[in-house]
Chain A
Amino acid sequence: MTTQQDFPSQEKGSSSISSSYQPNLSGRYKLDKIFAAIALICAWAGLVVLAWLLVDVFTDGVSRLTWTFISEFPSRKPDEAGLLSALVGSIWLIGIVALVAFPVGVGAGIFLEEFIKNSVIGNIIEVNISNLAGVPSIIYGLLGLAAFVRWMEPLTGGRSIIAGGLTLGLLVLPIVIVATRESLRAVPDSTRLAGFAVGATRWQVVRDTVLPPAFPGILTGTILALSRAIGETAPLITIGALTFIAFLPRGPRDSFTALPIQIYNWVSRPQQEFHSLAAGGIIVLLVVLLTMNSIAVILRNKLQKSR
């Protein structure tokens, strides 16, 4: 009885609520459109700046791209200056970084993913690696300065290519390790179980059945790590790469310069002519980076297809 009496009054209440509620759909949809437009603009903003940067660098630097620029040493006269010593220094560095970071990174990745996965030590090392990835690169420079330049001076020869290469190698090591682990993780467990079932040891399983399908991913990750190393400037300045070198290094214990260092040197000079040299150097650096990244993509596609 009471419920029946309540009913009309409730209905009355709800009808008064619905009349006070105005959906205002057209206004809300208008706001929606504005919001979507802002999101669109923000998503493209970064690319617009990227395009601006590239156009700017190319207009400033394209006139410097002559054979002299590649084949000559840096000079006080902008018209005769080139980046030969920087280019050769960068190639040396990349060679050393590859020699250090590839075997150590892949080995560590295999060890963490295949041998001690989910163990306490494994987890500690994993946390340690993700922390290392967040350490600013200039701190690696300080480590390199104290460890490779000062402490190991008899071995490395002080402010040398090998000291720079080792520093950059440590810097990109987490990238190689993470890439290796992710590639190994993508290989299905059934592959491993099949290997164990025919009596293979863990290493035999990894070497013969897990590593081959994971290899393209590992290689791609390594090349991306190397391209990160090519662009690094701060750690090299910290360990004391020279900014003006008019000779080619003859061995890993010689002093050196590198592309980003040379670019930094040219940018930080007040004269306009050196700025266009810097732009030219940036074009060379970006072309090197682009080439490496393309190689990474092509290698991945090719190796994946051939399987």
Chain B
Amino acid sequence: MTANSPNSGEDRSSLWKPNRQASRRVEMLVKLIFGAFALVSVATTAGIVLTLIFETIEFFGEVSLLQFLFDPQWTPLFSNQQFGIHVLISATIMTTGIAILVALPLGLMAAIYLSEYASLNTRRFLKPALEILAGIPSVVFGYFALLTVTPVLQTFIPGLQGFNALSAGLVLGISILPLVASLSEDAIYAVPRSLRDGSYALGATKRETIISVILPAALSGIVASLILAISRAIGETMIVTLAAGQNPTPGFNPFVPVATMTAFIVQVSLGDTPATSLAYKTIFAVGMTLFLITLTLNLISFWFVRKFQEKYE
């Protein structure tokens, strides 16, 4: 026994050889590969910015910035070329504005209902249902806007044309409604219970508590969700392309066909445009404008949350 046990102990310790060198090598390799994967996202941003800048510089080599800003019309595909980007921007503002007029009140009230009024079972049903709405592809909403909502609206509004900013904006509003609702609900849900109790203790009713205590406390989150929704609506493509048309019309008439920035990019892409043509460079200039607007809005939204978020406890 006594002679045996040290022997077997020696045998066992020699059995296990920790190959630390190999583990370290694998560790380095994994770190290198996964680090490269993480850099793909940085490369994507760099790629987007660089391609947009590069092609936009090419564009401004042929078209002056003054033309881009002040031309009265947007007709880069005609022989009489004009490049007034404000024609596309005004259309984008119009569809986005209508969308926000739909999505903000509906989304905010839906968030209030989900957070303050709904029973647990209703919540369990409503939230996934809203996620389904959020998961509907935009081309489906485009079909709905063009072929269902527009004919219905035409029975109310006689002068409404087949393509119009109104029905595109309304359906766009429905498509961003889940975003507003779920982000606002997160903000409202995060307001601590003590604030509600304090308000009730002063004799306020539920509605008074919601309007004068909870909403102000959740304001930063609600505004952030609103800005993100605006940014999403500006960048949305298929609904406005299908339902609002591809006619660059200056001004703010929601009853006639207009072309948003995104719709113009689609219109050019559907035709076969060689890389050297001005039309090809134009879509990058429009894309740059779109990118700058949405990036600014997204940054404002982040900054707003950080700056104005109410901290409790």
Contact = CB atoms under 8 A, between A and B. Distances in A.
Query: For the complex, would chain B's binding face be called helix, strand, loop or mixed by DSSP majority?
Result: helix
A144 B27 CA distance: 33
B242 A282 contact: no
Contacts of B242: 264, 267-268
A189 B185 CA distance: 30
Nearest to A235: B237
Given A108-B41, A268-B242, A53 B266 contact: no
A227 interface: yes
13 contacts: A43-B118, A116-B35, A132-B45, A136-B290, A136-B294, A138-B287, A173-B41, A203-B31, A233-B238, A234-B265, A238-B283, A267-B242, A275-B147
Contacts of B208: 28
Contact of B265 (A28, A134, A232, A238): A238
B114 interface: yes
A129 B238 contact: no
A36 B207 CA distance: 8
Given A53-B136, A142-B52, 10 more contacts: A39-B117, A40-B117, A46-B178, A46-B181, A53-B141, A56-B144, A134-B232, A142-B48, A233-B138, A264-B142
In the A-B complex, list the 6 residue pairs whose CB atoms are closest, starting with the nearest.
Answer: A136-B235, A231-B137, A42-B109, A234-B237, A111-B34, A107-B37
Interface in B22-38: 23-24, 26-27, 30-31, 33-35, 37-38
A267 B281 CA distance: 28
Contacts of A275: 143, 147
A145 B238 CA distance: 18
Interface of A: 23, 28-29, 31-32, 35-36, 38-47, 49-50, 52-53, 56-57, 60, 103-105, 107-108, 110-112, 115-116, 125, 128-132, 134-143, 145-147, 150, 170, 173-174, 177, 199, 201-204, 227-228, 230-234, 237-240, 243, 260, 263-264, 267-268, 275, 278-279, 282, 285-286, 289, 293
Contacts of A132: 41, 44-45
Given A173-B40, A232-B137, A39 B290 contact: no
A43 B45 contact: no
B142 to A, nearest CB: 6
B38 A111 contact: yes
Interface residues of B, number: 91
Nearest to A36: B117
Interface of B: 18, 23-24, 26-27, 30-31, 33-35, 37-42, 44-45, 47-48, 51-52, 54-55, 105-110, 112-114, 116-118, 126, 129-130, 132-133, 135-144, 146-148, 174, 177-178, 181, 203, 205-208, 210, 228, 231-232, 234-238, 241-242, 262, 265-266, 269-270, 272, 275, 283-284, 287, 290-291, 294-295, 298-299, 302
A275 B147 CA distance: 8
Contacts of A46: 106, 110, 130, 133, 174, 177-178, 181
Query: For the complex, would chain A's binding face be called helix, strand, loop or mixed by DSSP majority?
Result: helix
Contact of A43 (B40, B126, B136, B146): B126
A256 to B, nearest CB: 15
B266 A135 contact: no
B266 A111 contact: no
Given A53-B136, A108-B34, A137-B237, A173 B44 contact: yes
B154 to A, nearest CB: 16
Nearest to B301: A134
Contacts of A140: 48
B284 to A, nearest CB: 6
Contacts of B210: 35
B109 A38 contact: yes
Nearest to A169: B40
Nearest to A150: B275
A56 B148 contact: yes
Contact of A134 (B30, B38, B294): B294
B269 A47 contact: no
Contact of A267 (B142, B231, B284): B142
A237 B35 CA distance: 32
Contacts of B35: 111, 115-116
